[in-house]
């Protein structure tokens, strides 16, 4: 493979036959998907030279009216494939392809893998209807489904008829259809370009939000799935009586709450928490930085579900505690420094015992942060603007065990030092 197409860092000879500690798939703006293998060193405190391999080349889809229609905008695991190492890659034009990782592929590591078409989303909801816009992202929905959403608010649920067959659209839902049937006095003043900018899933629930379109939650398992079960409202007007026009840039369901709590990041540099059981207005709101919030990342640890890592358009990554959040920046805690541009994706390691979070964005680096030490432990330059990252393989010694051994060694050293001072 040509060196211009892929950067491959060769591991050391001592660890050449070992599996990577962590493997990630990274999608970039020109449509390439690269697999990055990170090998831990020094008991998990550092990482050696990464191994990088290109899994998918630039696509050939035709996106009418789209900017860079072949850009890979989202990576999602296939729930019905289990641990077979197959992932779905969504392109902006609506083409969704399936790629296989090194662990599941028998080909030579130095060769590129060709991605195959899985399905195409973003088709009109009704015959003769308008187009559904660009693909916004892919997310798993339950154990046998994948949900896709477009910038015009069209949500589709894809399920395979068999484990080896291609998925088909089982549900097509236009989340903005309810706005068309309302009188003009109650219609939303939707932005014609991107009425939907983010979406999130939880069990059978789907939340969609965007510019001039506050968050709506739909229950896909209900008989009337077209009607939202929750429609968020903005905060109360300020002292001058001025309402803020909603502009939601990222959203997510708070884990461990059964889909009742929804966290939103806005272009007004605020993080808001909504409780569907209480009211339609936010129950908590906290200011974060001075630029729009671009992505949210929830922890995996039990008891920390109200803590969320947030990133914005200037590269700030901060921990927001929604339990103590308030006005004046209260609730904004630790920070992760190192990102130099807009962060488009924050990904938490799926193993709660491994305190790692991965960030990528417009600075063209995949950055690895250690949450215990609050510092960057690795940075991999990948040449292009990056859109999304997904953790594929987790191996090596559990971080919890490594930390326990480190604490035991530290205790022995301290005891020896005390004995030496006494003598």
pLDDT per position as a tens digit, 117-165: 777 775 544 433 444 578 899 998 877 888 999 888 888 888 887 666 6
* Max avg pLDDT among 172-181, 188-197, 295-304: 295-304
pLDDT over 70 for what percent of the chain? Answer: 69
**Please, what is the end-to-end C-alpha distance for the chain in angstroms?**
64
Strand-strand pairing, 261-266 and 270-275: antiparallel
Residue 253 has pLDDT above 70, yes or no: yes
13-27 mean pLDDT? 63
Query: Could you tell me which residue, 33 or 180, shows the higher pLDDT?
Result: 33
Residue 210 has pLDDT above 80, yes or no: yes
What pLDDT was estimated at residue 299?
A: 80
* Max avg pLDDT among 105-109, 399-403, 405-409: 405-409
- Cβ of 151: how many Cβ atoms within 10 Å? 20
359, 379, 257: which is closest to 318 by C-alpha? Answer: 359
The two tokens of residue 249 are 């840039």
What pLDDT was estimated at residue 64?
A: 43
What are the chain's domains?
Answer: 1-175+342-423 (no CATH), 195-336 (2.130.10.10)
What pLDDT was estimated at residue 201?
A: 92
Residue 316 CA to residue 297 CA, distance in Å, equals: 13
Residue 207 has pLDDT above 80, yes or no: yes
Average pLDDT in the chain: 76
Cα→Cα distances 67→53, 59, 111, Å:
26, 14, 29
Query: Could you tell me which residue, 63 or 240, shows the higher pLDDT?
Result: 240
Confidence of residue 236 (pLDDT cuts 50, 70, 90): confident
Helix (H, G, I), strand (E, B) or coil at 178: helix
pLDDT over 90 for what percent of the chain? Answer: 22
Which 8-state DSSP code applies to residue 14?
G
Asked if 369 contacts 336 with a C-beta cutoff of 8 angstroms, the reply is yes
What pLDDT was estimated at residue 230?
A: 92
What pLDDT was estimated at residue 394?
A: 53
Q: Which residues contact 140 (CB under 8 A, 6 or more apart)?
A: 76, 77, 79, 146, 147, 201
Burial 231-256 (b: 16+ CB within 10 A, else e): ebebeeeeeeeeeeebbbbbbbbbbe
Helix (H, G, I), strand (E, B) or coil at 118: strand
The two tokens of residue 134 are 């660009």
Residue 4 has pLDDT above 70, yes or no: no
Asked if 392 contacts 33 with a C-beta cutoff of 8 angstroms, the reply is no
Helix (H, G, I), strand (E, B) or coil at 139: strand
Query: Could you tell me which residue, 418 or 112, shows the higher pLDDT?
Result: 418
Asked if 199 contacts 233 with a C-beta cutoff of 8 angstroms, the reply is no
């Amino acid at each position: 493979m040509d060196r211009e197409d892929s950067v491959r860092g060769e591991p050391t000879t001592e660890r050449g036959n070992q599996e990577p500690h962590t493997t990630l798939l990274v999608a970039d703006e020109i449509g390439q998907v690269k697999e990055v293998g990170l090998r831990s060193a020094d008991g998990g405190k550092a990482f050696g030279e990464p191994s990088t391999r290109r899994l998918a080349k630039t696509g050939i889809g035709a996106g009418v009216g789209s900017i860079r229609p072949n850009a890979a905008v989202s990576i999602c695991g296939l729930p019905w494939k289990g641990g077979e190492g197959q992932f779905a890659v969504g392109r902006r034009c609506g083409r969704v392809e399936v790629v296989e990782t090194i662990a599941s592929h028998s080909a030579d590591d130095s060769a590129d893998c060709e991605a195959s078409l899985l399905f195409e989303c973003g088709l009109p909801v009704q015959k003769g209807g308008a187009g559904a816009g660009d693909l916004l992202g892919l997310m798993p929905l339950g154990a046998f489904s994948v949900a896709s959403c477009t910038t015009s608010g069209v949500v589709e649920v894809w399920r395979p008829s068999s484990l080896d067959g291609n998925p088909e659209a089982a549900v097509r839902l236009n989340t903005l259809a309810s706005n068309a049937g309302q009188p003009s006095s109650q219609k939303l003043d939707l932005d014609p370009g991107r009425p939907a900018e983010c979406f999130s899933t939880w069990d059978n629930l789907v939340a969609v939000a965007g510019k001039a379109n506050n968050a709506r939650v739909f229950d896909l398992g209900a008989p009337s799935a077209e009607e939202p079960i929750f429609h968020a409202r903005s905060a109360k007007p300020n002292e001058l009586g001025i309402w803020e026009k909603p502009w939601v840039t990222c959203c997510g369901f708070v884990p461990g709450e059964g889909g009742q709590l929804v966290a939103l990041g806005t272009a007004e540099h605020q993080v808001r928490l909504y409780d569907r059981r209480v009211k339609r207005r936010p129950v908590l709101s906290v200011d974060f930085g001075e630029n729009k919030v671009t992505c949210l990342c929830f922890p995996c640890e039990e008891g920390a579900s109200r803590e969320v890592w947030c990133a914005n358009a200037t590269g700030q990554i901060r921990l927001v505690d929604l339990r103590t959040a308030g006005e004046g920046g209260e609730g904004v805690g630790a920070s992760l420094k190192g990102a130099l541009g807009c962060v488009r994706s924050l990904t938490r390691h799926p193993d709660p015992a491994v305190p790692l979070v991965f960030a990528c964005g417009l600075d063209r680096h995949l950055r690895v942060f250690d949450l215990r030490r609050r510092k960057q432990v690795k940075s991999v330059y990948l040449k292009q603007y990056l859109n999304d990252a997904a953790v594929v393989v987790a191996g090596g010694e559990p971080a919890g065990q490594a930390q326990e051994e480190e604490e035991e060694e530290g205790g022995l050293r301290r005891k020896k030092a005390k004995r030496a001072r006494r003598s």
